Every structure is written in structure tokens, then in C-alpha cells.
């Protein structure tokens, strides 16, 4: 079977990771971190990079500035064999960056969007859409250029007959104004985590949230961290336990890595349970190295880790 072709549309930035931090930041005070690294960031790019590392044929559409961070983004994507011909450079903005303060399995993030705000529907390679098997969009709430057009973008994509997926991520403005009752008809795989779906649907319990999303013909996939994942498709509901690997380094990009594993199996026409299981495996592997992509730099290492998970 030939590799499926996926186009990822989304934000691009670097992550500046600070680890082993002595305390919590306070205004007027200084604290120290004993470890720092600058790596490929953004939900969309981590997803694209890791999916390509798993063998899929991935292209990326996004925007960067003209600076050293842009060089890191492009070099990292190309190292993972992600095609970058649809990435646009804008001279008036710097490449986005996220400063991440890591505290065991939790973290605090500060993001500068910069050039990612310049991504608009007009920059999507519409003349090429029909050449792809699947289109993925992630983290649209922070992308001003496509936020208001997200449903129309998915509607237009579906007109080309390709499958689609959305990981909306957290709404930093906490408006949660995605009209899911209208928009989900154009999305084949909806990938929120538990906290996000509760906020989106204004629900107190997960079952209440699921009930509000239904009826929905696509795949509702809910990431639940250390509890694993849950998938609902038509009359089928599957709960899949998480995997826990050592060493645990950080959880950055674990959800994006889950998405990569799930969609890889989805495009192979695997069962819902198999898709969830692969998502959990890839998410777990992600936590064993710094940042969202480092655990996937070596194909033999990925295969070895997968063979250890049953």
C-alpha cells in the first residue's frame, strides 16, 4: 500500500523549554532553571513531523518570519521528511515562539503568535487539495487569520472529497465560539481532550458533553491523558487505556503525537480500537524525550518502543 498523502494546515513556532525550575515565577523576582532547549513547537508542526516519522507522506501549509527561529522550524520539518513548499515567509512579523515552563507532568506556556497570524484561507493551496488523501487542522483558536473562517475552510475542503480532522486545542480567550453543531458535518475526525470538550459544550460531565456532540457521523476522539482515550463512532464506543513508559521526560506534544498515531491507523482503514491504541502508544513514546518530536528522530528506536507495548 502506498503512503497516504496528508496536508497539515496550521501554526508554526519554536518551543523554548525550561526544565528543573526552582519554584514558580513571581513579578519582581527571579528564579532559575537548570535546563533549556529550543525545539520545533506548535501543535500542527509536532503532529506533522511525527506523522511523517511514522511513514506518512506529509506536507505543511503555514507562515513563518525571516529569522533564526524560521530556520529551526524549516530544518526540523525537513529532517522529518515533511514537505515545506506550502510554507509562506512574511517579512513584517517574527516567527512565533512559545516559552514553556515544565513542572513534572504539568506546564505553563506563554506564546507569541507573530507570523502565524498571517495564515489566511487565501494561502491554502486550493488547487492542490484534491491530490491529498487527508487534511488536518490544529489549534485554530490562536490563529487570527483562519479562526473566523474555520467552518467555511472545512466545508470547502470537503468539496474536494478528502477526509478531514480537527484538533481545536484550548481557546486562550475562552470564548469557545466554534459552532460545532454546524461545523462538525465537514469534519471526519474531531480530536478534543476531555477539558476542551467540556468547555466547548458547556457540560459538567463527559457523558453530557458526548450527548451534546451527537448526532455526529464522524469520529469523536477524546484524549484523557493518563486515563487513555475514548472514541465514539455511530453506535460504537471504545475506551482504550493509556501506556506509561519510562523515563518520563515531559508531556509536550503528547496529544499531537496521539493524533499522529490515530490518523496513521485511520488512513490504513483500521478499527476504532486499533486507531485509539496506536494513538495511545505514540502519545506515550512522545513523553520519553524532550519536546514533542525528539522521541521520533530514530525510526529503529520508534519500532523498538512499539514492540515493547502490548
The residue ranges of every structural domain in the chain are: 5-308
Q: Residue 106's pLDDT is what?
A: 77
Q: Residue 271's pLDDT is what?
A: 98
Peptide bond into 2 cis (omega under 30): no
Q: Residue 252's pLDDT is what?
A: 86
Q: Residue 19's pLDDT is what?
A: 86
Quick: pLDDT tens for 47-101.
999 999 999 999 999 999 999 999 999 999 999 999 999 999 999 999 999 999 9
- This prediction has a pTM of 0.94
Q: Residue 265's pLDDT is what?
A: 97
Quick: pLDDT tens for 147-177.
999 999 999 999 999 999 999 999 999 999 9
Query: Rounded to whole angstroms, what are the CA distances from 300 to 2, 28, 167, 297, 305?
Result: 21, 47, 28, 9, 9
Assigned superfamily of 5-308: Ribokinase (3.40.1190.20)
Closest CA to 64 of 43, 38, 92, 37: 92
Three-state SS annotation for the chain: CCCCEEEEECCCEEEEEEEEECCCCCCCCCCCEEEEEEEECCHHHHHHHHHHHCCCEEEEEEEECCCHHHHHHHHHHHHCCCEEEEEEECCCCCCEEEEEEEECCEEEEEEECHHHHHCCHHHCCHHHHHHCCEEEEECHHHCHHHHCCHHHHHHHHHCCCCEEEEECCCCCCCCCCCCHHHHHHHCCEECCEHHHHHHHHCCCCHHHHHHHHCCCCCEEEEECHHHCEEEEECCEEEEECCCCCCCCCCCCCHHHHHHHHHHHHHHCCCCHHHHHHHHHHHHHHHCCCCCCCHHHCCHHHHHHHHHHCC
Q: Residue 290's pLDDT is what?
A: 85
Q: Residue 71's pLDDT is what?
A: 97
Q: Residue 1's pLDDT is what?
A: 56
Q: Residues of the chain whose pLDDT is less than 70?
A: 1, 105
Q: Residue 309's pLDDT is what?
A: 82
**Chain position carrying cell 516567527:** 95
* Cα–Cα distance for residue pair 15/46, rounded to 1 Å: 11
Sign, CA dihedral 303-287-258-100, equals negative
Give the β-pairing of 236-240 and 83-89.
unpaired
Amino acid at each position: 500500500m502506498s503512503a497516504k498523502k496528508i496536508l497539515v494546515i496550521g501554526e508554526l513556532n519554536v518551543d523554548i523549554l525550561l526544565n528543573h525550575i526552582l519554584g514558580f515565577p513571581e513579578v519582581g523576582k527571579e528564579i532559575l532553571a537548570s535546563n533549556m532547549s529550543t525545539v520545533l513547537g506548535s501543535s500542527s508542526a509536532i503532529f506533522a513531523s511525527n506523522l511523517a516519522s511514522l511513514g506518512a507522506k506529509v506536507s505543511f501549509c503555514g507562515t513563518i518570519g525571516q529569522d533564526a527561529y524560521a530556520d529551526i522550524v524549516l530544518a526540523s520539518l525537513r529532517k522529518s521528511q515533511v514537505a515545506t513548499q506550502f510554507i509562506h515567509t512574511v517579512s513584517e512579523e517574527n516567527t512565533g515562539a512559545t516559552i514553556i515552563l515544565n513542572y513534572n507532568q504539568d506546564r505553563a506556556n506563554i506564546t507569541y503568535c507573530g507570523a502565524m497570524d498571517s495564515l489566511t484561507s487565501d494561502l491554502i493551496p486550493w488547487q492542490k487539495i484534491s491530490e491529498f488523501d487527508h487534511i488536518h487542522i490544529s489549534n485554530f483558536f490562536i490563529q487570527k487569520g483562519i479562526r473566523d473562517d474555520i467552518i467555511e475552510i472545512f466545508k470547502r475542503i470537503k468539496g474536494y472529497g478528502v477526509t478531514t480532522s480537527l484538533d481545536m486545542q484550548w481557546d486562550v480567550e475562552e470564548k469557545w465560539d466554534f459552532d460545532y453543531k454546524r461545523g462538525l458535518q465537514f469534519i471526519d475526525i474531531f480530536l478534543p481532550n476531555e477539558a476542551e470538550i467540556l468547555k466547548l459544550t458547556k457540560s459538567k460531565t463527559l457523558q453530557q458533553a458526548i450527548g451534546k456532540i451527537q448526532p455526529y457521523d464522524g469520529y469523536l476522539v477524546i484524549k484523557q491523558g493518563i486515563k487513555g482515550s475514548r472514541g465514539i463512532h455511530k453506535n460504537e464506543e471504545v475506551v482504550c487505556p493509556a501506556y506509561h513508559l519510562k523515563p518520563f521526560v515531559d508531556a509536550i506534544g503528547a496529544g499531537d503525537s496521539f493524533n499522529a498515531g490515530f490518523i496513521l491507523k485511520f488512513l490504513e482503514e483500521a478499527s476504532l480500537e486499533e486507531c485509539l491504541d496506536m494513538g495511545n502508544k505514540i502519545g506515550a513514546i512522545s513523553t520519553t524525550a524532550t519536546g514533542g518530536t525528539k522521541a521520533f528522530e530514530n525510526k529503529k528506536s520508534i519500532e523498538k518502543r512499539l514492540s515493547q507495548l502490548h
